[in-house]
Amino acid sequence: MKILGIESSCDETAASVVEDGTKILSNVVVSQIDIFAEYGGVIPEVAARSHLEAILPVIDKALKDANSTWDDIDAIAVTHAPGLLGSLLIGTLTARTLAILHNKPLYATHHLKSHVYANWLEGSTDISFPILALVISGGHTQILYMKKHNDFKIIGTTTDDAIGECFDKVAKILGLPYPGGPSIAKAAEKGNPEKYKFPHPKTAEPLNFSFSGLKTAVLRAVQKDCGLPISHPSHDLKNHLTEAQINDFAASFQKTAIDILLEKLNLAKEQYEVRSILFAGGVSANSALREKAKDAYFPSPKFSGDNGAMVAAAAYFEIKDGKQPTDPYTLNIYPRIEIN
Ligand X SMILES: Nc1ncnc2c1ncn2[C@@H]1O[C@H](COP(=O)(O)OP(=O)(O)OP(=O)(O)O)[C@@H](O)[C@H]1O
Q: Which residues bind ligand X (CB under 6 A)?
A: 9-10, 83, 111, 115, 137-140, 164, 167-168, 179-182, 185, 281-283, 285-286, 305-306
User: Cα–Cα distance between 324 and 62 in angstroms, integer?
Assistant: 24
Contact 18, 121 (CB under 8 A): yes
Element (H, E) at 5: strand 2-7
Q: How far is CA 331 from CA 8, 17, 77, 96, in A?
A: 15, 21, 12, 8
Interaction with Mg ion in 68-87: which residues (CB under 5 A)? none
Site string for Mg ion, 128-147 (x = CB under 5 A): ---------x----------
Quick check: 156 and 264 in contact, CB under 8 A? yes
Contact call for residue 32 and Mg ion (CB under 5 A):
no
Closest approach of Cβ 299 to ligand X, in Å? 10
At its nearest, how many Å lie between Mg ion and the CB of residue 307? 9
Output 104 or 111, the one with its CB closest to ligand X: 111
With vertex at residue 173, the alpha carbon angle to CA 208 and CA 168, rounded to the nearest 5 degrees, is: 50
Chosen from Mg ion, ligand X, none, partner binding at 167 (C-beta under 5 to 8 Å by type): ligand X
Does the footprint of Mg ion cover residue 22 (CB under 5 A)? no
* C-beta of residue 114 within 8 angstroms of C-beta of residue 311: yes
For residue 132, the SS3 value is strand
Q: Which does 286 bind (CB under 5 to 8 A by kind): ligand X, Mg ion, none?
A: ligand X
Which residue, 11 or 73, is less far from ligand X as judged by CB? 11
Decide which of ligand X, Mg ion, none touches 185; Cβ closer than 5 to 8 Å per partner kind: ligand X
Query: Cβ-count burial of 233 within 10 angstroms (0-12 exposed, 13-18 middle, 19+ buried)?
Result: exposed
Q: Does 168 bind Mg ion (CB under 5 A)?
A: no
304: nearest Cα among 117, 153, 78: 117
Q: Least CB distance from residue 163 to ligand X, whole Å?
A: 8
The answer to the question of residue 11 lying near Mg ion (CB under 5 A) is: no
Degrees (nearest 5) of the Cα angle 208, 205, 269?
Answer: 65
306 contributes a contact to Mg ion by CB under 5 A: yes
Residue 99 vs 183, nearer CB to ligand X: 183
In the complex, the smallest distance separating the C-beta of residue 183 from ligand X, rounded to whole angstroms, is 8
- For the CA atoms of 321, 325, 330, 336, what is the dihedral angle to 10 degrees? 30
Query: By rule CB under 5 A, what count of residues binds Mg ion?
Result: 2
Stretch that binds Mg ion, among 29-37, 127-135, 300-308, 321-329 (CB under 5 A): 300-308
User: CB of 7: closest distance to Mg ion in angstroms?
Assistant: 8
Q: Which candidate, 186, 195, 217, 209, places its Cα nearest to that of 286?
A: 186
| 140 interacts with, out of Mg ion, ligand X, none, CB within 5 to 8 A per kind | ligand X
Minimum Å distance from CB 189 to ligand X? 11
DSSP 83: S
Residues that bind Mg ion (CB under 5 A): 137, 306
